[in-house]
Amino acid sequence: MRKEQYNYFSVKVQSIAARLEFESLTDMCRFADANQVNNIFILHGEKPEDDFFALYHNACLLLHNTNGFKTLENYLTAQEKGFPNAAVYYDSAELGYSKHEDYLLVKESGISDLATFETMRKKGYILGYTTYKELEATNPKPYELETPINNPYELYSYAKMHNFEDCSKLIEAFAKGFIDANLYTAAKELGFPTHADFIDAGKRGFRTFADLKLSNDKGIRDSQDLLRHIDLEYVKKGTTTHDQRVLLIVLSKIEQGKKISLNKLGAILKTNIENYKYEDTAEMPTWFTIGMNDVDELTNFLEKSEHVKLYGTYNVDGEFFEINKMQDRSIVLDASNVAHNSVGRVDKKVYANNLVLMIDFLKEKGFTDIIVIADASLRHKVEDHPILEKVKKMCTYLESPRETQADIFILQYVKINHCLLVSNDTFREWKVQDPWAAENVDFYRLSFIIKGNEVLMPDLK
Amino acid sequence: MRCIQLDFPVDNFNGYEFAYKVRAGYLLSTMMSVVGASTFYITYNYIVKSLSSLNKARFIYGSRMCIDEEVTEIIESFFQDYKEFKSIKHPPTQYFQTFKKLERELENVLDEWSDTFKARLAYHGYNGLFELVDDAYFVISHCDNLSVIENMKNLSVTDLLTNKETIPGTDYAVWMMPDKFYNEDVFETFMAESIDDIEPDMPYFIKCFDLPNLNILSSNELISVRIHLGELIDPIKNEIQKWALSCYMSNGNEPFIKNVLPRMDALQKAIDENPIIKHLKSIPAGCISAPVYMGEISPIILWKYYFEKKVLKEEEYNKLVNEYDSILNYTIPVMLFTAPGVGLKLIINSNLKESEVSEEVVITGTKKNLDIG
C-alpha cells in the first residue's frame, strides 16, 4: 500500500466559476504532483458512482470521478499492481492479496485462504507452475497423470496428496517420470535414475539399478540369467570364456578316479552348455562366450590349464581325462558346525578338539589342502580354547569378519573353488535365497559324525 | 485396524518371522503396537552405540534378550568382578590394572557379539524399523516378565493379554501370531479351517491373503507402500476393526463372514498392484509368498501359548484361567502368518526347542558325482 501523500476533505460545491474535468485519474495525480497540491476534495454524489475527486487551483475546480476508489493512492496502487478496477482492487485487498495476478489465481482455483496461498508461494508453486508447464510440454512427456493439472493450486494440492515437500522436489521427480514422492525416494534409494528404469527392472526381476545396468551392459536378459552369469563369474579364474568355466564345473562333479574319453567329455560339455539356452527362444545368451570351438581347442585347454589340473589329468596319448581322487581336492571345514557336533555328549558344548580330530582324519585320508572357516565368535564359545590355537597351525584357518556370518564365506568359497565341504548344516535358509546353493551345496557337502575320538564320514570311500 | 505383536526371544535368534509380522502390521494397520523382544531388536543399534561397556553389558543382560549362553556367562562373571572391585575402597594399582584389563576383554567380547548380532538383526529384517517408530501409528514397548531395563516403561503382560489398555492402541487389537502358534499343545479343540466348518464358540483360521518377502524392503519402501495402501484399504481396515470389536464384545463370526472375507480379494489386489510390491515380487528373493490367515480363538488359547513360552508366569496364568468363567465370553481376533509354501499346518511336539528338532544327522552315503555312464 502506498503511503498517503494527499489530504482528503469531503465538500459540497455551492457555486464555482470554473470547473475542469480531467480525462483520467492518472492525469489528475500528475497535475497534483506537478503543482504540489496535497489537498484533495471529495464530492459525494447521490450514489457512490457519482463521487468525484477534486482539487482547487487558480480559482478553478479540477475534478474526476472517483471510479470507485476511496483515495488517489489506492488508485495509483491498483494501477501499479495491475488491477482493472476499484471493485477488484478492494476485493483483493480484503482477501489479503496485493497483486492482481495472485488475486486472479486465487479466484480461478478456489483457494479459500491466504495462509494456503502463502504456503504455496513459499514452497515455490506459484513460480514453479511455469516450469511445470514447460515440462508438460516436452515430448515425450516423462510422466503420466490421470487428471491434468491446470493451475498452481492444483499443482500444490497434487503435491500435498503425493507427499512432495515442495515444488522443486515435485518437478525433479516428474522430470524422472515419478509421480509420487515416496515411490521416488524408494526408487532413488535403489539407484534408479528414472521411472522407466524402475519399471524395466521390475519386469526383468532386478531389485537395484546396479543389477539392471550390469545386465544391460552384458546383454543379460533377466534376474535368472544374471544369477547364471554370476555363478560362472565365480569360477572365472584361469579361464577366458564361459564354456571353459562350465567345463571346470563339470570336471568338479565327476566321480573320483574315473577315466573319460575326450569324445565323452566333449558330449557332456556340450549338453551342459546347452542347458544355458533360453527356454522360450532356444537360443544361447549373448553374454555366453565360447572359446573351445573344436576338439583341438578343448584338448589344448585340458592340457594346459592349471585349474583343470585341480580336478584331474589329461592323457594326451590315450585321449582321456582321469579325475583326481577326492583327496586331491580342496576341502573346507565349517568350523562352527564341526565344533558343535559331538554325538553322545550330554553337555552340548563346543569343542575345538572336534576340529583337530576332523583335520587328522582328513589328513589320514590323504587330504592336504584343508581350509577351516570360522565365525569370529567361535573362539569365545569353545570350551578348549588353547586347542583352537593348535588348529590354526594345522591348516589354513580363516575367520569371517565380525559382522558377517561364516556361512556366507563358506558358500562363496565352495562356489569359487567347487571344492568339498564338511558340514552337517544343510544351509536351508541360504537355499531359499540362492539357487546355486539349492542346486549344488548338497553335492559338495560331506556329512559326518564325531563320537568320542572317532570320525565317521560315509562319503569318503 | 489396530494390531498388536507380543514376542519373546527364541533359541538361535531366528527373528525372521517376528520382523516379518512387524512389517506386515506396519503396512496394513492404522496402529501397530510392538511389545517384547522385537522392541529390543528394533532399538538395539540405536541404544548401544552410545553406551559404555559396563552399561552395554547391563542393557544386554537386563533385557534378557541375549540368548547366547557363553556371552551371558562372561557378563555375569564380569559383574561379579565389578562388585568385588567396587567393594574395595582404595584398590591397589595392580588390582585396578587387572580390572581394567577385564573391562577391555569384556568390551572386546561385547563388541564382537554386538557386531555379529547387528548383522543377524539386519539379516532377519530388523534394519530400518527404528526409523518408522511413531507415537501415532507404530509404537514399540517393553513388557514386564521379559525385561528389566532401567528407565524404560514396561507394560503389563497380563493387562495386554486381557485386553486392558496399557497404552493407547493396545486394546481391541488384532493379534499378530507366527505359524508356531498353531500347535497341538495350545490348540486342544477342533479348529475350523473353512467357512463351512465355522460354528459358534469354535476357533477358526481362514486363508485371507498372501504377502511377499517384506523383510528386504527398506524403511523408505515401507513408508511408500503404507501410504499408498492406506488410501486404498481404509474401508477394509475399518471392517476388520469392527470385526475385532465384535470379537471382544462376544464373538465375530458373522461380521467376519459377511464383511471381512468378501473384502479380502480387494485387499490382495491393492497389495499386488502397489508399485513397490510389484517390483519386489519380480525378484527371486522377494516373490516368496506367505499365506496369512485370520480367525478367532478363545483367550485361554492365547494365555496358554504365552504361558508355554514363559512370557506369562504360572501364577498369572492360573489366575487368568481360574477367573475365566466369571468374565463375559469374548474371543481374540488373530492374524496368523504361515510359512511360504506350507500354509496352515498344526504343529506337533512344539515343546521341543528348535535346536533339538534341528535335523538329525543321518549317516548315509551321498552320490558326489555326475553320472557319466
pLDDT 10s digits, A5-60: 888 888 887 777 788 899 999 999 999 999 998 899 998 888 888 899 999 888 88
Q: Give 3-state DSSP helix, strand, coil % of chain A, rounded to 5.
A: 50, 15, 35
- Give CA–CA dist B346/B350, Å, rounded: 10
What pLDDT shows up at residue B9? 80
For A222, name the nearest residue in chain B, comparing CA atoms only: B283
- Asked if the model's pLDDT at residue A420 lies above 80, the reply is yes
CA angle A80, A82, A84 (to 5 degrees): 120
The model carries a pTM of 0.79
CA distance A246 to A308: 11
d(CA B155, CA B144): 6
Distance from CA of B223 to the nearest CA of A (A): 7
A99-116 mean pLDDT: 81
Indicate whether A103 pLDDT > 90: no
Average pLDDT over residues A396-408: 83
Residues of A in contact with B359 (CB under 8 A): 424, 426
Q: A95 falls in which pLDDT band (50, 70, 90)?
A: confident
pLDDT given for residue B83 in this prediction: 84
Q: What is the pLDDT of residue A234?
A: 83
Q: What is the pLDDT of residues A228-282, one digit of tens each?
A: 998 898 887 778 899 999 999 899 888 888 899 999 999 999 999 999 999 999 9
Q: Do A426 and B368 touch (CB under 8 A)?
A: no
List the single residue in B70, B282, B363 with the smallest CB-CB distance to A458. B363
> In B, which residues are within 8 Å of A205 by CB distance?
282-284
Report yes or no: A374 and A413 within 8 Å, Cβ to Cβ: no
Q: For an interface test with B, give the residue of A144, A158, A160, A183 to mutate (most B CBs within 10 A).
A: A183
Give B7's strand partners: B36
Q: Which residues of A touch B131 (CB under 8 A)?
A: none
The answer to whether the complex's ipTM is over 0.90 is: no
pLDDT digits (tens, 9 = 90+) for A179-230: 999 999 999 999 999 999 999 999 999 999 999 999 999 999 998 899 899 8
Any A CB within 8 A of B235 CB: no
Report pLDDT for A284: 94
Touching check for B359 and chain A: CB below 8 Å?
yes
B3 CB within 8 Å of a chain A CB: no
Distance, in angstroms, between B134 CA and closest chain A CA? 17
Q: What is the band of A347 on the pLDDT scale with cuts at 50, 70, 90?
A: low
Extract the residue ranges of chain B whose pLDDT is less than 70.
11-14, 65-67, 147-152, 349-373
Mean pLDDT in residue range A408-425: 88
- pLDDT for position A69: 93
**Residues 171-230, chain B, touching A (beta carbon < 8 A):** 216, 218, 220-221, 223-224, 227-228
Query: Phi, psi (5° rounding) for residue A143?
Result: -130, 170
User: Across residues A145-162, what is the average pLDDT?
Assistant: 90
**What's the mean pLDDT in A310-320?**
90
Q: Does B111 touch chain A (CB under 8 A)?
A: yes
Is there a contact between A195 and A176 (Cβ–Cβ < 8 Å)? yes
First to last CA, chain B: 62
- Cβ neighbours of B112 (radius 10 Å): 18
**What pLDDT was estimated at residue A307?**
86
Which residue has better confidence, A162 or A17?
A162
Average pLDDT of chain A?
88
